[in-house]
Amino acid sequence: MRTWGISVARQRFLAFCAGVVCVALAAAALAIGLTGAPLRAALPGDHAHVGVASCSGTTCHGRQEPDGKIVRQDEILRWQEPSSPTGAHSRAFAVLSDTRGRQIGARLGINPSASGECLGCHAEPGAKRVSDGVGCEACHGGASGWLASHYAVGGTHAANVARGMVPLDRPAVRASVCLDCHFGSADGGQFVNHRIMAAGHPRIAFELDLFSALQQHHNEDADYAARKGRTNSVRVWAVGQAMALDRALSLFANPSLGTNGAFPEFYFFDCHSCHRRIQDSDSFTATALANPGRGTPPGAVPFNDENMIMLSAAARVAAPGLAARFDADSRAFHRAIGES
């Protein structure tokens, strides 16, 4: 009897995965305008972190009112907002020691506030203080190279990026940064597997345009548009779908993440295909609806394809020539998952 690791599904997946990702990203690139430097080149090597406190002066980002001429200048206050998702990053470390965090840690047999399994996302790598949670530089990059230049008269966004600022105005770059924790990465402490979710961790979800709106600490006024251009929310959404699918398939193909012992890593699969009622009645009633886009046979656990579905919808509108191939490859992917 073949194990999952050498099954036909796994073999076909490894050969097929690169093609699906390429088509997905090609559709996004051609239809939505994903252009510019390669993504890796756009993500600078991290510089030394100087800490949230270095941004919190009243002449910088620490005012109580958004009355700055160039930027709001109350960004720290918004980052610390205690009652809405806007302040979630500042609370990231603190939640590890609240009731739910302690319960999850007890089930896993770890101290969440000290475990690298949690701190990879609930604190900022390279931060001065882990108690700051996910601070400014977790997303904007270590500021030692650009802290002074980004408020200098005559300074440019391009110059700051050259000194190490992460160009979050580029949707693909922003998605890649967010996905490290809001989907997962191969780096230590940045992958919430099924074991961690079974201990009580919230289900992982990702939608770039929504997350950007919830975390927005700036106004897109005239000078913002002059420096970085206007945000196209539809483009941000679609690029986020493409990047999330790319990340999902890349991690699933990673031998150290795609399997968990003799089983596949259930993190990658549709939660509701298993987490639903099972009936022992003589009169069988189906509790799941067939998805014609999947082609997954009954009894097989389907891949969590929400990003695949959304990207397909975007491609049908913006790149119909690529959409047909993408849909065909998606169905082939699901069939391969269902084979044994």
Which pTM was predicted?
A: 0.84
pLDDT single digits (tens) 120-169:
999 987 777 889 999 999 999 999 999 999 888 888 889 999 999 999 99
Identify the bridge partners of residue 259 per DSSP, sorted by sequence position: 264
235 vs 295 pLDDT, higher one: 235
Nearest Cα to Cα of residue 44 among 156, 161, 136: 161
Helix/strand/coil (H/E/C) assignment for every residue in the chain: CCCHHHCHHHHHHHHHHHHHHHHHHHHHHHHHCCCCCCHHHHCCCCCCCCCHHHHCCCCCCCCCCCCCCCCCCCHHHHHCCCCCHHHCCCCCCHHHHCHHHHHHHHHHCCCCCCCHHHHHHHCCCCCCCHHHCCCHHHHHCCCCCCCCHHHCCCCCHHHHHHCCCCCCCCHHHHHHHHHHHHCCCCCCCCCCCHHHHHCCCCCCCCCHHHHHHHCCCCCCCHHHHHHHCCCCHHHHHHHHHHHHHHHHHHHHCCHHHHEECCEECHHHECHHHCCCCCCCCCCCCCCCCCCCCCCCCCCCCCECCHHHHHHHHHHHHHCHHHHHHHHHHHHHHHHHHHCC
Q: Can you read off the two tokens belonging to residue 191?
A: 């992958």
pLDDT of residue 20: 58
pLDDT of residue 34: 53
- How do 259-260 and 263-264 pair as beta strands? antiparallel
Q: Is the pLDDT of residue 27 over 60?
A: no
- For residues 21-37, give the mean pLDDT: 48
What average pLDDT does the structure give for the chain? 82
Q: Is the pLDDT of residue 4 over 50?
A: no
pLDDT of residue 96: 96
For CA atoms 241, 243, 244, 250, the dihedral sign is positive
CA triple 97-179-16, angle to 5 deg: 130
- For residues 12-17, give the mean pLDDT: 55
Spatial contact of 185 and 179, defined as CB atoms under 8 Å apart: yes
pLDDT of residue 321: 83
pLDDT of residue 26: 46
pLDDT of residue 176: 94
pLDDT of residue 74: 86
Residue with tokens 């490859």: 329
Strongest mean pLDDT among 38-42, 247-251, 321-325: 247-251
197 vs 337 pLDDT, higher one: 197
Q: Is the pLDDT of residue 31 over 90?
A: no
First-residue to last-residue Cα distance in the chain: 10
319 vs 299 pLDDT, higher one: 319
> In the chain, pLDDT over 70 holds for what percent of residues?
82
For CA atoms 184, 190, 192, 195, the dihedral sign is positive
Spatial contact of 210 and 174, defined as CB atoms under 8 Å apart: no
pLDDT of residue 340: 55
- For residues 189-199, give the mean pLDDT: 93
* Residue 282 CB-density burial (10 A; 0-12 exposed, 13-18 middle, 19+ buried): exposed
pLDDT of residue 201: 95
Q: Can you read off the two tokens belonging to residue 75?
A: 């960004």
Q: Which of 147-161, 179-193, 260-274 has the lowest mean pLDDT?
A: 260-274
* Confidence grade of residue 36 (pLDDT, cut at 50, 70, 90): very low
CA atoms within 13 Å, Cβ hemisphere of 160: 23
Q: Can you read off the two tokens belonging to residue 278?
A: 């099972």
Number of Cβ within a 10 Å radius of residue 215: 17
Q: How far apart are CA 27 and CA 201, in angstroms?
A: 34
